[in-house]
Amino acid sequence: MDPRQSQGRTVIRAGRVIDPSQSIDRVDDVTIVDGRIESVGPAAERPDRTIDAGGLIVCPGLIDMHVHLREPGGEEQETIETGTRAAAGGGFTAVACMPNTKPPIDNVDTLRAVLDKARSGAHCRVYPVAAMTVGQRGQVPVDMPALKAAGAIAFSDDGIGLDDDRVARAVFDRARPCDALLIQHCEVAALSAGGCVNQGRIAEQLGVAGIDPRAETEMLARDLDLLRGSPVRYHVAHVSTERAVDLVRRGKAEGLPVTAEVTVHHLALTEDAVLRQGANAKMKPPLRTEADVAACRRGLCDGTIDCIATDHAPHTAEAKERGLRDAPFGVVGLETAWPVSWGVLVETGRLDPAGLIDRMSCQPARILGLSDQGTLAAGTVADVTMLDATASWVLSANSLISKSNNSPFIGRHLVGRCVATLVAGVCRYVAEGSEGRFAQPG
């Protein structure tokens, strides 16, 4: 990012400013000076440039703590450049990227290579998550202090559950002294092996093997037990079952240091989507039942589940065309996260707009320890998203910025769209047709 572009005074004029971190929800101006927020309030001085936010929501930049950028090793699916361009297009100013690359991010050199690529070519902030175990093989814990010092934001073997109880204990023990955040992909391999959709009705109807919901809950229950013994910052990735929501709820009630995320697709779709979308609705954990979706929504609204993530997992069309049984797991999500969540949660009255922004910006910032983000407080970095909550559109495969288009929402009618994304005051995305909102006063 070119810091020179962010110098001077920018005023985002007359938007509906929503900043849950300061309980702000009113029409106002936001002034940015040299890449930092100066104030939320009527702009005093003459700016170097203005952005007309009339009719738009102006909020702290969205943060996605679960993204697969695929680089290194999966560049035919996505790169740091294309993935972060898709992120900025979806309103995200920061993403945490998962370490299941080729090679995996399990050592300082690979971590530095990702950070270097991000520094030179990313369109938003990139926070690499390092592996929990060497090679993500679930046997030997990585050198957490060294990786953390080099910039790992958290540790996860995402894509694979940490099956071995003794190794799990060793990983927890290693995380504690360096205050590392662990992100667990809860999946007991023996209970999911061979499955490609949720166990039950749809699996039977299609004649494919199912994934037992206990694959998720058994590992989560074990981890909560480990936390009881000696606490460590622990985050559950992509909660998908009613029972997992209950386990997190009880863990929090006990005071355990557990946080949780739910993906947009687990909030929006039941296992029935597999019948319509085929392999583009195949992911881990799988789409579940209506009762599970309802529990995830309730959990998110009552604070049991802290935040929304995308688990953006690009795959080539060729790979997804192998069919439900053989296609890889995962769906893209960065560009649809805001409108789909808006439709499922805000339009239905489950959350107000501030509640949604809280779960897509403030909470992920808090969990990741990004104290300068998820807020429009004076003095913090000017990571700002401008959203049109009325734009109505239909998602088509070729409209996606991401290098891959394996979305379960293709053809879906969406309401809401990102109009502009500013990172440290620099505009990293402007929606087509919105360029006229940007002006340099003469």
Q: Give me the least distance between CB of 321 and Zn ion, in Å please.
A: 23
Considering beta carbons, is residue 242 or 311 the nearer one to Zn ion? 311
Cβ of residue 211: shortest distance to Zn ion, in angstroms? 13
CA 215 vs CA 200, 220, 294: distances in Å = 14, 9, 20
Residues 349 and 50: their CA atoms lie apart, in Å, by: 33
Tallying the residues shown for the chain, one arrives at 442
Using CB under 5 A as the criterion, what x/- string covers residues 21-50 for binding Zn ion?
Answer: ------------------------------
Closer of 131 and 386 to Zn ion (Cβ): 131
3-state SS of 238-287 is CCCCHHHHHHHHHHHHCCCCEEEEEEHHHHHCCCCHHHHHHHHHCCCCCC
Nearer to Zn ion, 309 or 419 (CB): 309
Tell me how many residues contact Zn ion (CB under 5 A). Answer: 3
Q: How far is the CB of 186 from Zn ion (least distance, A)?
A: 9
Helix, strand or coil for residue 54? coil
Helix spans in 103-164 (H): 108-121, 144-150
**Residue 131 or residue 237: which is nearer to Zn ion going by CB?**
237
| CB-nearer residue toward Zn ion: 123 or 235 | 235
**CA neighbor of 223 nearest in space, from 289, 300, 132:** 132
Return d(Cα 124, Cα 383) in angstroms, integer. Answer: 9
Q: How far is CA 42 from CA 10, 45, 414, 422, 430, in A?
A: 13, 9, 33, 20, 24
Taking CB atoms, the residue at the shortest distance from Zn ion is 185
Binding range to Zn ion, per CB under 5 A, among 37-45, 57-65, 154-162, 354-362: 154-162
Site string for Zn ion, 348-367 (x = CB under 5 A): --------------------
Bridge partner residues of 426 (DSSP): 423
Output the smallest distance, CB 354 to Zn ion, in A: 29
Residue 43 or 168: the one with the smaller Cβ distance to Zn ion is: 168
- Cβ neighbors of 229 (< 8 A, separation 6 or more) are none
* Nearest approach, Cβ of residue 159 and Zn ion (Å): 6
Report, in Å, the least distance between residue 285 CB and Zn ion. Answer: 8
Nearest CB to Zn ion, comparing residues 185 and 437:
185
How far apart are the C-alpha atoms of 98 and 109, rounded to whole Å?
A: 16
Site string for Zn ion, 385-414 (x = CB under 5 A): ------------------------------
Three-state secondary structure call for residue 133: strand
Nearest to 124 by CA among 152, 154, 77, 83: 83
User: Minimum Å distance from CB 238 to Zn ion?
Assistant: 6
Asked if 80 contacts 128 with a C-beta cutoff of 8 angstroms, the reply is no
Interface positions, 171-210, toward Zn ion (CB under 5 A)? 185
**In the structure encoding, which two tokens stand for residue 384, read together?**
């700002």
Q: Select 13 or 282, whichever has its Cβ closest to Zn ion.
A: 282
Interface residue with Zn ion among 157, 158, 261, 388 (CB under 5 A) is: 158
Judged by CB under 5 A, the stretch of 150-158, 228-236, 320-328, 347-355 that binds Zn ion is 150-158
Sign (positive/negative) of CA torsion 386, 86, 125, 430?
Answer: negative
Question: Is 163 a residue of the active site?
Answer: no
Query: By CB under 5 A, what part of segment 253-292 binds Zn ion?
Result: none
Q: How far is the CB of 264 from Zn ion (least distance, A)?
A: 14
Residues 6+ apart with CB under 8 A from 70: 77, 78, 79, 83, 101, 314
Amino acid at 78: E
Please identify, among the stretches 78-86, 151-159, 223-231, 270-278, the one whose residues bind Zn ion according to the rule CB under 5 A: 151-159
216 binds Zn ion (CB under 5 A): no
Q: Which of 311, 358, 383, 388 is catalytic?
A: 311
- Residues classed as catalytic: 311
Contacts with Zn ion by CB under 5 A lie at 158, 185, 237
